[in-house]
């Protein structure tokens, strides 16, 4: 079923603030498109949660976004993508994009040594989604994964630099490179992690290319809308709504580091009847 010059917004979902990195790329590439972003901060982080819980929470959030009459749904959460993407595609009446495959393809294209490191949440690592997606892109590549459970709560709290953040990043990357010293491409397998990108690049050093899925996911969204003929007919800038299930002030503080003065007023909404 094709879309035709569709003015409806693109829906973007994340467990918290991380998906704002994907939203920023979408808005950069597709400025005429309207967007609605939903961060389920009240229940973040998703990474340590059991898979059935992640699926249930994701479906509740997706139902809320679908009720806003979106034309395309972007799961801008690696944990939700790795645990719930097939399920979301079953219930959604619109196309659904995840963030795992675009990031994996970019990492496979980037590596020269044939060794890709992936840092992600415990749930994403346990799912094996990135190892499978990188292997699909190029079966000859070695993939070393590491769960980094401290990073998402740190980003959600706005702790993006300083001694604590640096200590956590150094600790995790030290573990990863100790396992495989040949890694020359580091894939940020969680959309929260690009908010720590300057620190991660500094610690990883110039020999290691750092890749995330935000840019490639935005590209995939653009390609999909073009293929379906579903671009907005409007020529001016699109409307952008940002909604959280959690604390508006905390969310706004972190979101401001991504969007600055371009950040719209953050709204609060409940995605459950509780």
What positions carry a catalytic annotation?
77, 190
Burial class (CB in 10 A: 0-12, 13-18, 19+), 1: exposed
* Phi, psi of 212, rounded to the nearest 5 degrees: -130, 170
Strand pairing of 115-120 and 185-188?
Answer: parallel
Element (H, E) at 131: helix 129-137
Residue 92 is classified by DSSP as -
* Phi, psi of 22, rounded to the nearest 5 degrees: -70, -45
Which residues, in sequence order, are CB contacts of 23 under 8 Å at separation 6+? 12, 35, 37, 76, 242, 258
Three-state DSSP class for 130?
A: helix
Rounded to an integer, what is the distance from CA 145 to the centroid of its chain?
Answer: 17
Cβ atoms within 10 Å, residue 28: 11
The residues facing 119 across adjacent strands are 146, 188
**Cis upstream peptide for 45 (omega within 30°):** yes
Cβ atoms within 10 Å, residue 265: 8
Nearest to 193 by CA among 177, 209, 214: 214
């Amino acid at each position: 079923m094709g879309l035709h010059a569709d003015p409806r917004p693109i829906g973007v979902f994340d467990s918290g603030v991380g998906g704002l990195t994907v939203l920023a790329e979408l808005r950069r590439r597709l400025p005429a498109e309207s967007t609605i972003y939903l961060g389920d901060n009240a229940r973040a982080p998703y990474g340590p949660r059991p898979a059935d819980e992640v699926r249930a929470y994701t479906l509740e959030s997706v139902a809320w976004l679908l009720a806003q009459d979106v034309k395309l749904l972007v799961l801008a959460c690696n944990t939700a993508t790795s645990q719930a993407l097939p399920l979301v595609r079953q219930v959604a009446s619109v196309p659904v994009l995840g963030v795992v495959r675009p990031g994996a393809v970019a990492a496979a294209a980037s590596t020269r040594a044939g060794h890709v490191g992936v840092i992600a949440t415990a749930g994403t690592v346990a799912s094996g989604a990135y190892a499978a997606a990188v292997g699909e892109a190029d079966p000859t590549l070695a993939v070393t994964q590491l769960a980094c459970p401290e990073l998402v709560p740190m980003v959600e709290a706005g702790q993006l630099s300083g001694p604590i953040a640096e200590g956590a990043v150094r600790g995790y990357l030290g573990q990863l490179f100790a396992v495989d010293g040949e890694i020359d491409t580091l894939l940020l397998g969680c959309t929260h992690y690009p908010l720590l990108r300057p620190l991660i690049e500094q610690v990883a050093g110039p020999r290691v290319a750092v890749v995330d899925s935000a840019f490639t996911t935005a590209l995939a969204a653009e390609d999909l809308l073009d293929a379906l003929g579903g671009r907005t007919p409007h020529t001016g800038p699109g409307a952008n709504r940002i909604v959280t299930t959690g604390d508006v002030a905390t969310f706004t503080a972190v979101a401001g580091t991504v969007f600055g003065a371009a950040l719209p007023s953050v709204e609060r909404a409940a995605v459950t009847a509780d």
